[in-house]
Amino acid sequence: MADINLLPSEEKASDSLNSLQKKLTIVSVLVLAVVALFTVVTLILFTTEKGRESQLKADIEKSASQVAAKKSTEELLTVVSKKASSANKAIAARMIYTDIITKTAELMPKDVYFNDLKINGSKLSTSAKAKTSADVANLVSSFVTSDEGKKLFSSISIDSLATDADGNYAFSVSMQINDAQSGVSGQGAVTK
């Protein structure tokens, strides 16, 4: 048998409206509470950050005035540091030709001499004389195959070779100095 609802339809509608109103009220209160919480949190964060900002600005101002008071020291350090570092770099990059000449002399066979010597950057060129062809060959091997020679020169090129009236060998030779020779001795380390 079917249920019979004796409540009038107006009563039923009124109940559902009341229930809806209650739900809506709860939702509105929740939204209000969330917004209020968000507002309070935002305000607290804002106040905190503003306070921190003021504190940091005060700290910066204080430190800036302390730095300004030591400006002369900073200027001194800046100049000294720049000059010292530039000088060090320049000294490290320059070639100490006296070392190169001395080492070249040590490596040369006894019966070879230079008529002149030109040094331009990392290139040495000379016109030389040797007693025998073996001396020329030894000069080449000494400069490019010996350990000391390899440290000093990266390449050697004999541009001309001829005997003169005395039977000596005249030759022109150019040598490329190794980049590693730059600033080997450093500032003031050379023999006085």
Partner 1 sequence: MNLPSLTVGAGTKADSPIAEIGKFLIFAPSILAIVASISIAFFVVWPKFNEVVKLKESNKTLEATSVKLSDKVKALSVLDQSKLKTQLTSAELLLPSEKNIFPFIRQIEDIRNRSGVVITSLSVGTVGQFNSGKAKPDAGAPSAPAPVPPAAGADSDIAGSVSASVVEMKVSVTSDYRSILQFLNNLYAMARVTIVKDLSFSPTADGQITTSLVISSLWQPLPSDLPSIEAPLPSLTKADTDLLSKIENEGPISAPAPVPDVPKGRPDIFTKF
Q: Provide, rounded to whole angstroms, the least separation between the CB of residue 58 and partner 1.
A: 9
* Phi, psi dihedrals of residue 7, rounded to the nearest 5°: -70, 140
What is the C-alpha to C-alpha distance for residues 13 and 19, in angstroms, rounded to an integer? Answer: 10
Binding flag, residue 150, partner 1 (CB under 8 A): no
Beta bridge partners, 158, equal 173
Q: How many residues interact with partner 1 (rule CB under 8 A)? A: 77
Binding flag, residue 118, partner 1 (CB under 8 A): yes
Using CB under 8 A as the binding rule, the residues of this chain from 122 to 141 that contact partner 1 are 122
What is the C-alpha to C-alpha distance for residues 159 and 150, in angstroms, rounded to an integer? Answer: 20
Binding flag, residue 87, partner 1 (CB under 8 A): yes
Pick from 116, 147, 164, 166 the residue near partner 1 by CB under 8 A.
116
Pick from 15, 19, 20, 163 the residue near partner 1 by CB under 8 A.
20
What is the C-alpha to C-alpha distance for residues 148 and 169, in angstroms, rounded to an integer? Answer: 25
Residue 67 or 134: which CB sits closer to partner 1? 67
Side by side, which strands form the sheet with 112-114? 112-114, 123-130, 169-177, 153-163
Residue 27 or 134: which CB sits closer to partner 1? 27
Binding flag, residue 101, partner 1 (CB under 8 A): yes
From first CA to last CA, the distance across the chain in angstroms is: 129
Residue 122 or 141: which CB sits closer to partner 1? 122
What is the C-alpha to C-alpha distance for residues 117 and 101, in angstroms, rounded to an integer? Answer: 10
User: ∠ CA 111-114-117 to the nearest 5 degrees?
Assistant: 160
For tokens 């509105």, name the residue.
Answer: 28
Residue 122 or 132: which CB sits closer to partner 1? 122
Q: Provide, rounded to whole angstroms, the least separation between the CB of residue 114 and partner 1.
A: 8
Pick from 11, 15, 19, 31 the residue near partner 1 by CB under 8 A.
31
Binding flag, residue 19, partner 1 (CB under 8 A): no
Pick from 11, 12, 19, 117 the residue near partner 1 by CB under 8 A.
117
What is the C-alpha to C-alpha distance for residues 45 and 17, in angstroms, rounded to an integer? Answer: 41
Residue 127 or 141: which CB sits closer to partner 1? 127
